[in-house]
Amino acid sequence: MPNTTKHDLIASVAKSTGLTQADTKIVVEELLETVSTFLESGKNIEIRGFGTFYTKERKPRPARNPKTGEVVPLLRRVVPLFKYSSDLKSKISDTLQQKKTN
Protein backbone atom coordinates (compact mmCIF):
# COMPACT_ATOMS: atom_id res chain seq x y z
CA MET A 1 0.00 0.00 0.00
CA PRO A 2 1.64 3.27 -1.09
CA ASN A 3 2.00 6.20 1.28
CA THR A 4 -0.20 9.25 0.97
CA THR A 5 1.72 12.47 0.33
CA LYS A 6 0.87 16.02 1.32
CA HIS A 7 -0.16 16.63 -2.29
CA ASP A 8 -2.57 13.67 -2.13
CA LEU A 9 -4.03 15.03 1.11
CA ILE A 10 -4.50 18.47 -0.42
CA ALA A 11 -6.17 17.02 -3.52
CA SER A 12 -8.54 14.90 -1.43
CA VAL A 13 -9.55 17.77 0.87
CA ALA A 14 -10.01 20.12 -2.08
CA LYS A 15 -12.24 17.59 -3.84
CA SER A 16 -14.41 16.95 -0.77
CA THR A 17 -14.75 20.62 0.24
CA GLY A 18 -15.06 22.23 -3.18
CA LEU A 19 -12.15 24.58 -2.44
CA THR A 20 -9.38 25.07 -4.97
CA GLN A 21 -6.20 23.11 -4.46
CA ALA A 22 -4.32 26.40 -4.05
CA ASP A 23 -6.60 27.49 -1.18
CA THR A 24 -6.51 24.03 0.38
CA LYS A 25 -2.71 23.99 0.18
CA ILE A 26 -2.56 27.24 2.16
CA VAL A 27 -4.87 25.85 4.85
CA VAL A 28 -3.05 22.50 5.14
CA GLU A 29 0.40 24.11 5.28
CA GLU A 30 -0.77 26.64 7.88
CA LEU A 31 -2.30 23.85 9.98
CA LEU A 32 0.95 21.89 9.89
CA GLU A 33 2.98 25.00 10.71
CA THR A 34 0.69 25.80 13.64
CA VAL A 35 0.98 22.24 14.99
CA SER A 36 4.77 22.51 14.74
CA THR A 37 4.79 25.88 16.51
CA PHE A 38 2.68 24.60 19.40
CA LEU A 39 4.86 21.49 19.80
CA GLU A 40 8.04 23.61 19.69
CA SER A 41 6.66 25.73 22.54
CA GLY A 42 5.94 22.61 24.61
CA LYS A 43 2.15 22.63 24.21
CA ASN A 44 0.09 19.52 23.48
CA ILE A 45 -2.57 19.49 20.76
CA GLU A 46 -5.68 17.42 21.41
CA ILE A 47 -8.10 16.82 18.56
CA ARG A 48 -11.09 14.97 19.99
CA GLY A 49 -11.96 11.84 18.06
CA PHE A 50 -8.57 11.86 16.33
CA GLY A 51 -5.70 11.98 18.82
CA THR A 52 -3.11 14.02 20.67
CA PHE A 53 0.18 15.43 19.43
CA TYR A 54 2.71 15.92 22.22
CA THR A 55 6.43 15.98 22.95
CA LYS A 56 8.48 13.79 25.27
CA GLU A 57 12.00 14.15 26.56
CA ARG A 58 14.31 11.23 25.87
CA LYS A 59 17.15 10.79 28.33
CA PRO A 60 20.75 10.51 27.17
CA ARG A 61 21.93 6.93 26.69
CA PRO A 62 24.66 4.97 24.97
CA ALA A 63 23.77 3.47 21.59
CA ARG A 64 25.65 1.18 19.26
CA ASN A 65 26.47 1.67 15.60
CA PRO A 66 25.23 -1.63 14.09
CA LYS A 67 27.80 -1.53 11.29
CA THR A 68 30.94 -0.98 13.37
CA GLY A 69 29.78 -1.96 16.85
CA GLU A 70 31.13 1.36 18.12
CA VAL A 71 29.35 2.87 21.13
CA VAL A 72 27.86 6.24 20.25
CA PRO A 73 26.35 8.52 22.89
CA LEU A 74 22.82 9.74 22.23
CA LEU A 75 22.25 13.12 23.84
CA ARG A 76 19.11 14.28 25.63
CA ARG A 77 16.48 15.15 23.07
CA VAL A 78 12.83 16.05 22.76
CA VAL A 79 10.80 14.06 20.25
CA PRO A 80 7.30 14.66 18.85
CA LEU A 81 4.78 11.86 19.39
CA PHE A 82 1.17 11.09 18.47
CA LYS A 83 -1.32 9.11 20.54
CA TYR A 84 -4.40 8.07 18.61
CA SER A 85 -7.87 8.25 20.16
CA SER A 86 -9.97 5.19 20.80
CA ASP A 87 -12.46 6.53 18.22
CA LEU A 88 -9.78 6.61 15.51
CA LYS A 89 -8.53 3.16 16.51
CA SER A 90 -12.06 1.76 16.27
CA LYS A 91 -12.68 3.33 12.85
CA ILE A 92 -9.45 1.92 11.45
CA SER A 93 -10.00 -1.49 13.01
CA ASP A 94 -13.59 -1.70 11.74
CA THR A 95 -12.55 -0.63 8.22
CA LEU A 96 -9.77 -3.22 8.06
CA GLN A 97 -12.10 -5.94 9.39
CA GLN A 98 -14.64 -5.13 6.65
CA LYS A 99 -11.97 -5.24 3.95
CA LYS A 100 -10.82 -8.68 5.13
CA THR A 101 -14.34 -10.12 5.05
CA ASN A 102 -15.06 -8.79 1.53
pLDDT tens per residue, range 43-86: 999 999 999 999 999 999 999 999 999 999 999 999 999 999 99
- What digits encode the pLDDT tens for the residues 4-58? 999 999 999 999 999 999 999 999 999 999 999 999 999 999 999 999 999 999 9
- Residue 95 pLDDT class (50, 70, 90 cuts): confident
* Residue 58 to residue 50: CA distance in whole angstroms: 25
* CATH architecture, domain 44-102: Irregular (4.10)
Residue 102 pLDDT > 80: no
pLDDT beyond 70 at 1 = no
Q: Which residue has the higher pLDDT, 95 or 86?
A: 86
The residues of the chain that CATH labels 4.10.520.10 are 44-102
Q: How far is CA 93 from CA 8, 79, 86, 102, in A?
A: 23, 27, 10, 15
Residues 49, 12, 55, CA angle at the centre, nearest 5°?
45
